[in-house]
Amino acid sequence: MQIYLPIAEVSVNAFLLLGLGGIVGILSGMFGVGGGFLMTPLLFFIGIPPAVAVATEANQIVASSFSGVLAHLRRKTVDLRMGTVLLIGGLVGAALGVVLFNYLKSLGQVDLLVRLCYVVFLGIIGGLMFVESLNAIRRSRNPATAVPTRRKHGLIHALPFKMKFRVSGLYISVIPPLLVGLCVGILAAIMGVGGGFIMVPAMIYLLGMPTKVVIGTSLFQIIFVTGFTTLLHATTNYTVDVVLAVLLLVGGVIGAQIGTRIGVKMKAEQLRILLAIMVLAVCGKLALDLLLTPAELYSIGAAGGH
């Protein structure tokens, strides 16, 4: 069941793409990540050019996140006010990211940049999450050592422009969420990720939001930022492959509903450690691909690239 992808200019098995979409959809529902940070490298592995993978994956994230948000809205675990603040930062970041992406594409360095970004980010995030989850599991095993910590009033609480976020139970400055949104927007454009794998830890550890609200809110913001990114890529780079997007979408939407159900049944620490292991595995494979000599030393670039 081979299908020819017009923009990516490769033939791929349709069931393989549906399966990939489904797996990433399940992860999206379980962890509140768009799943792009796993899907985009998986697309590299099956031979999709990085520029096409990035732009098309942003498209697929919109659907799986939308499917996930609907499930969370029913449970009332979405902080719409916090989501909106993150979103403002995110849209600005996405516009900046696409400008940078176009500039690097004109230099012909975009494929290398995308892969390097992945290795660095996945390595750091995976490592930190793994250590943190191990500690959490250790604490839950012997509760005697777990000392209840008071939430420290650090730098974030000293910043101006405070705002009340009722659903999250927070009263903090809007500057940190705007900055988190901005960074996530830039990454969405360059790496084709929803940025959930950065946003979720940032919302828990920097902003101090409760985990159950974080996932829905993160997905809410991801929908709009990745939708905007896809539009910009489609109109400026013409790298969105519709056939590829539709196949990934169908798998992703079904998977997200299954994932949300699984996620509810598991402990937070178990979820985090599973996610960390997966992130590190993908990071390792990407790093290997960058270091080993490829099977084909030459690739044919589009006109205008070097």
Domain ranges of the chain: 2-141+155-291
What does the alpha-carbon distance between residue 39 and residue 54 come to, in Å, rounded to a whole number?
Answer: 9
* pLDDT at residue number 177: 84
Tens-digit pLDDT profile for residues 105-162: 788 777 777 778 878 888 887 888 788 888 888 888 876 655 544 455 566 666 777 8
DSSP structural state of residue 3: E
The arithmetic mean of pLDDT across residues 43-54, rounded, is 81
| Backbone φ, ψ for residue 143 (5° rounding) | -65, -15
Strand 2-5 relative to strand 10-13, pairing: antiparallel
| Backbone φ, ψ for residue 60 (5° rounding) | -70, -35
* pLDDT at residue number 301: 53
Q: Does the pLDDT value for residue 17 go beyond 80?
A: yes
Residue 108: partners with Cβ closer than 8 Å, 6 or more residues away:
301, 305, 306
Lowest-pLDDT range of 17-31, 61-75, 228-242, 287-301: 287-301
The two structure tokens encoding residue 231 = 């539009």
Residues 245, 48: contact at Cβ < 8 Å?
no
| Backbone φ, ψ for residue 34 (5° rounding) | -65, -20
* pLDDT at residue number 42: 81
What does the alpha-carbon distance between residue 149 and residue 144 come to, in Å, rounded to a whole number?
Answer: 14
Tens-digit pLDDT profile for residues 84-118: 888 899 889 888 888 888 888 788 777 777 778 87
Tens-digit pLDDT profile for residues 63-75: 777 877 887 888 8
Element (H, E) at 162: strand 162-165
- Count the residues in the chain: 306
The arithmetic mean of pLDDT across residues 214-219, rounded, is 82
Question: Terminal CA-to-CA distance of the chain, rounded, Å?
Answer: 34
Q: Does the pLDDT value for residue 214 go beyond 80?
A: yes
Residues 83, 213: contact at Cβ < 8 Å?
no
What does the alpha-carbon distance between residue 63 and residue 246 come to, in Å, rounded to a whole number?
Answer: 10
Q: Does the pLDDT value for residue 226 go beyond 60?
A: yes
